[in-house]
Amino acid sequence: MSQQFVIAPETIIQAYTLGIFPMATSKDSENIQFFQPDIRGVLPIRPPHIPKRLQRLLRKQPFEIHWNQNFPAVIDGCAAPRSGTQDTWINPQIRMLYISLHMLGFAHSVEVYEEGQLVGGLYGVAIGGAFFGESMFSRVSNASKIALCHLMARLRYGNFKLLDAQFVNDHLIQFGIESIDKDDFQKQLEHAINSKASLGLDIPESIILQSLWQDNNVTS
């Protein structure tokens, strides 16, 4: 029987501050690997880039949005099989590690509900003025996109400096994702994690969005 190496949550936090993040190679893998891509995907938040179609949908408020009400359910949604693939990088060790980070106050979930049911969401890690997006899922159309919009709006409101998406993918192009090299990312990261910021989770989503529209702090 192979011996499993246990990684402490504090090790993960230290890795994030150095621009390194953990992943498993598959849901069945017993190991966790660490990555530091040469090219990093970063989403703009000052101002956030939200497509006009999603801006209209946000104004209609078709979903109920909550933070951190059911973090394990969000990570399980992200780990579930998706269209076109049955595998995931979230193995049991990753799951428990991020639940530990959530309990320590570092990992957060944005949850999208429809008629009382969790239909989408995302999770990530906040350190200083940096937010590291990890994964998202959607069970109905646009649910994960709405979660991302609410995340970007709250990060802007709370004076965050960096939203790390790790990799560039087609899904995030509509949100203005930018490719930057490792050196530029490290400079932005150092500035962000040493900046004072707050998610302000006591502030209602309606106030966050109202600020977004009133100040015209959004591009499309």
CA–CA dist 24, 177 (Å, integer): 24
Residue among 124, 93, 85 at smallest CA distance from 31: 93
- Do the beta carbons of residue 3 and residue 112 sit within 8 Å? no
pLDDT digit string, tens, across residues 82-137: 765 556 789 999 999 999 999 999 999 999 999 999 999 999 999 999 999 999 99
pLDDT digit string, tens, across residues 12-53: 999 999 999 999 888 878 888 999 999 999 999 988 899 999
φ, ψ (nearest 5 deg) of residue 33: -110, 160
Q: What is the CB neighbour count within 10 angstroms for residue 4? A: 10
* Per-residue model confidence (pLDDT) at position 165: 96
Domains (range + CATH), the chain: 9-214 (3.40.630.70)
Residue among 160, 153, 144 at smallest CA distance from 194: 160
Give the β-pairing of 39-43 and 178-181: antiparallel
Residue among 178, 120, 195, 188 at smallest CA distance from 150: 120
pLDDT digit string, tens, across residues 146-205: 999 999 999 999 999 999 999 998 889 999 999 999 999 999 999 999 999 999 999 999
CA–CA dist 137, 142 (Å, integer): 10
CA–CA dist 40, 165 (Å, integer): 8
pLDDT digit string, tens, across residues 176-188: 999 999 999 999 9
